[in-house]
Amino acid sequence: MFRRPSGRSGMALILALATIVLAGGLILLMQARASGAIRLEQMELIRERLRIAAAEAVREAMWQLAADENLEADHLGEDWAQPLETLDEDGISTLALIEDAGRFFHWNNVVVSNSATRTPRDILHELMIFCGDLQPAGKVAALVDFMDADDEGTYEADFYRRQDPPWRPPNRQLWAPEELTRVHGFSREMLAPRPRERTAGLHDGDLARATVLAPVELEAPVPINVNTAGRDVLMGLAGLEQERAVDYVLSRRRLEPFESLDIFGASPELAAALQGLVSTRSEYFRIRARASLGNQSRSALVWVQRDSAGDVHVVQWVEAEG
Ligand SMILES: [Ca+2]
Ligand SMILES: [Ca+2]
């Protein structure tokens, strides 16, 4: 026969049940937390291993670059220009790419030239026209005022004082590409890469892919490497009226890289004008490396400088997720 429990024992039973449920819940929670902590720890461990693997890949790439025996010419057929891939026994894969910065126009070049004839400003002017900006003179002048040390020009402190909010141009070389968007006339849109599907027309250049900002304070312009620069950069370098010469350079270097600048010997005037602005080799290189395992990856972007003896030095090392 079932007896109805008294109020007190009923309450005790409920409390006991509640305690059991609570304890069970706590154990589950602790287990969940423990497995969560282990998972986090494992992820952190993999993250660290990927960081090291990406750094190793950069170091391998630097060795590859330092092993380049031909310091007179740098071209895309050389070993350093080939992607470096590895896969270790734990399944970590790495990919490293070296890109010579001589193929680009360097933004800081515009304030370090003392050439009397063709200057980096002229090159940028032509390059911007080639990239579809038909009246870039004001922008180039604004960029020069933004960076040159003096306060004499149309786009100096007086000009920016009238802006909302007012501010002063830094009067120094650029430290980051984002600074360009503060220069009068510049915008994010003009600095964004254009769609790849383009014709080889006269105004179809891509300013974003033709320019670079090396994280170094320049004392002289970084020359453009005639072996690696794209059509856009070569058009800016030689001038828009030199389209046939540029096409000649592009087809000739497919057969054999330029070991010297004799090519400009046929035009002594052009050779003199481009003195110090063009080269057959590169000094600065950008290394991108990524290490991956499953859906986790880490990457490194490293700027290096190769000196005249062929030794490679790190200029900047930036690590990132993904
Ligand atoms: Ca070389
Ligand atoms: Ca200035």
Q: What is the pLDDT of residues 194-234, one digit of tens each?
A: 887 656 666 778 999 999 999 999 999 999 999 999 999 99
Residue 284 near residue 307 (C-beta atoms within 8 A):
no
Calculate how far, in angstroms, residue 191's C-alpha sits from the geometric centre of ligand 2: 22
The predicted structure's pLDDT at residue 46: 95
Calculate how far, in angstroms, residue 74's C-alpha sits from the geometric centre of ligand 1: 4
Nearest alpha carbon to residue 100 among 206, 192, 214:
214
Query: Which ligand has its closest atom nearest to the C-alpha of 172?
Result: 2
Calculate how far, in angstroms, residue 73's C-alpha sits from the geometric centre of ligand 1: 5
Model's pTM, two decimal places?
Answer: 0.84
Q: What is the pLDDT of residues 12-27, one digit of tens each?
A: 666 777 777 777 777 8
Distances (CA, A) of 49 to 57, 213, 289: 12, 30, 14
Calculate how far, in angstroms, residue 232's C-alpha sits from the geometric centre of ligand 2: 28
Distance CA 87, CA 73 (A): 31
Q: What is the pLDDT of residues 105-116, one digit of tens each?
A: 999 999 998 777
Calculate how far, in angstroms, residue 221's C-alpha sits from the geometric centre of ligand 2: 18
Out of 3.40.50.620, 3.30.1300.30, 1.10.150.120, 3.30.70.1560, the CATH code matching 8-102+284-321 is 3.30.1300.30
Query: Which ligand has its closest atom nearest to the C-alpha of 66?
Result: 1
Calculate how far, in angstroms, residue 219's C-alpha sits from the geometric centre of ligand 1: 23
Calculate how far, in angstroms, residue 284's C-alpha sits from the geometric centre of ligand 2: 27
Domain extents in the chain: 8-102+284-321, 107-277
